[in-house]
Structure 1
Amino acid sequence: MTHKMPELPYAKDALEPHISRETIEYHYGKHLQAYVDNLNKLIPGTEYEDVSLEEIIRRAEGPIFNNGAQVWNHTFYFNTFSPKPQEKPEGKLLDALEKKYGSFDSFKAEFEKKATGLFGSGWTWLVKDASGALDIVNESNAGNPIRNGRTPLMVMDVWEHAYYIDYRNRRADSVKATWHVIDWKKVGERF
């Protein structure tokens, strides 16, 4: 199986001013492309040649895991955004967030604390477990909650390449800006 670059569901400049066209060109166009290319070079002749990215995440180790997970993580990440998003979730997702965190603003504050507090590179995820309980988890490097039996609902990429063009070393500013492009309708569908 040859893995392909996912299509962006919006124009490269559609998330401005929160995420610039230049960041999308590098992050999506170069970083994600490199992960796709590397994975396609690594899997021929292995047990991962004809399996889904989810199976690679669950079972692989080393470079195949790292590149496969990064293809999945970035595809999920870029598909979490909308140029015209809702301000906050609605319905069952909002109810679940308010039940768990007290309010939507308290959820955002806890998410920001986790995302800015992750040492080094990685991802901050909103997930649900098999019982439907929500949690915010950090995963270092290429980590993905699927590996631990959790369902990803939303993610913020806190690798420096995700924000350095627009925000330099200000990860917290990047996290705050990302709220303005989260597609809560999509996150609600995942929930």
Structure 2
Amino acid sequence: MTKLTRRFALAGLAGASLIGAGLTGRRPAFAQAAEGPFKLDPLPYGYDKNEPHIDAQTMELHHDKHHASYVEKLNQAVSGHGELASKPLQEILANLDSVPEDVRKAVRNNGGGHANHTMFWQVMGGNGGTPSGDLAAAIDRDLGGFEAFKTAFNQAGADQFGSGWVFVTVTGDGALALTSRPNQDTPLMDGQLVLFGNDVWEHAYYLKYQNRRAAYLDAWWNVVNWEMVAERYAAARAGTLTI
């Protein structure tokens, strides 16, 4: 799950209304994607897996509508640019200056959105708690211990003006750092690796939390999948982590 796959069809709703659609236990339904090199992986769990902290309707809208739109628009942007379309997403994002100017903004926004959300679904669907092993040791070493790190992470997310993300970056030797980015920007654009992060766009939380971003940030820790984050950490150190 640390590599972007291209085998899955684009997510889509099955024609039913989201409101009152009976989402409990449902797995994402997929329709054939529009032509293009980038595809949307299905969620690795049901829409309700993060309940009650992240509601099922938000998960369905967020994945099947918002993320799907980024993929569609990214494919539209690279269409007609064969060399660009053949490159891995992380390579494109790390070299935005080389992207043709007429599509650079679209690639930045939608490529960043695709990368960010692909990571996001991976690191949720867990039971929260605390990390262990090498990951926990790195947090203690580089981020002041788990509780201090959580406080700083939540504050960075709360302080992000408007839409954006809060991230933990990781180097090849395992060093961690906390950072935030506006809109769908990502540390990948600076040649860095992303360990994990949280989405603070309103569409990530508004149905349940309305304007209470701080409450969402606090609740989100209950759904972090620390086993997956640890896998991403090991992949970074092994040189295999992509997006």
TM-score bracket for this pair, using the shorter chain length: over 0.9
**One-letter amino acid of the counterpart of residue 206, structure 2:** Y
How far did 1:100 drift?
A: 2.3
In the aligned structure 1, how far is the partner of 2:38 from the partner of 2:142?
37
- The corresponding residue for 2:58 is 23
Maintained 8 Å contact 1:130/1:150 = no
Q: TM-score, normalised on structure 2?
A: 0.75
**Per-residue CA distance 1:146-189 (angstroms, 9 max, x = gap):** 12222111110011111111110111111111100111111111
- 5 Å-filtered alignment, 1:38-117, equals 38-46=73-81, 47-60=83-96, 61-82=104-125, 84-117=126-159
Maintained 8 Å contact 2:143/2:176 = no
In the aligned structure 1, how far is the partner of 2:128 from the partner of 2:63?
23
Q: CA RMSD in A?
A: 1.4
In the aligned structure 1, how far is the partner of 2:194 from the partner of 2:156?
16
In the aligned structure 2, how far is the partner of 1:39 from the partner of 1:135?
29
Maintained 8 Å contact 2:78/2:84 = yes
**Per-residue CA distance 1:82-103 (angstroms, 9 max, x = gap):** 2x43511101110111122332
1:138 paired to 2:173: no
Other structure's SS at 2:178 match: strand
In the aligned structure 2, how far is the partner of 1:93 from the partner of 1:141?
28
**Per-residue CA distance 1:85-132 (angstroms, 9 max, x = gap):** 351110111011112233211110011111111111111001123443
Other structure's SS at 2:85 match: coil
Q: In structure 1, list runs of 5 or more residues that go unmatched.
A: none
Q: TM-score, normalised on structure 1?
A: 0.94
How far did 1:53 drift?
A: 1.2
How far did 1:64 drift?
A: 1.4
In the aligned structure 1, how far is the partner of 2:202 from the partner of 2:117?
14
Indicate the structure (1 or 2) with the bigger Cα radius of gyration. 2
**One-letter amino acid of the counterpart of residue 67, structure 2:** L
User: How many equivalent pairs are there?
Assistant: 190
- 5 Å-filtered alignment, 1:177-188, equals 177-188=219-230
Structure having greater relative contact order (Cα 8 Å, sep ≥ 6): 1
In the aligned structure 2, how far is the partner of 1:28 from the partner of 1:148?
26
In the aligned structure 2, how far is the partner of 1:116 from the partner of 1:86?
20
In the aligned structure 2, how far is the partner of 1:189 from the partner of 1:25?
25
1:34 paired to 2:69: yes
In the aligned structure 1, how far is the partner of 2:142 from the partner of 2:109?
32
Other structure's SS at 2:158 match: helix
**Per-residue CA distance 1:10-37 (angstroms, 9 max, x = gap):** 0011110011111011111100111111
Maintained 8 Å contact 1:56/1:69 = no
**Per-residue CA distance 1:43-92 (angstroms, 9 max, x = gap):** 1111422111112211233111211111111111011112x435111011
**One-letter amino acid of the counterpart of residue 202, structure 2:** E
Maintained 8 Å contact 2:108/2:185 = no
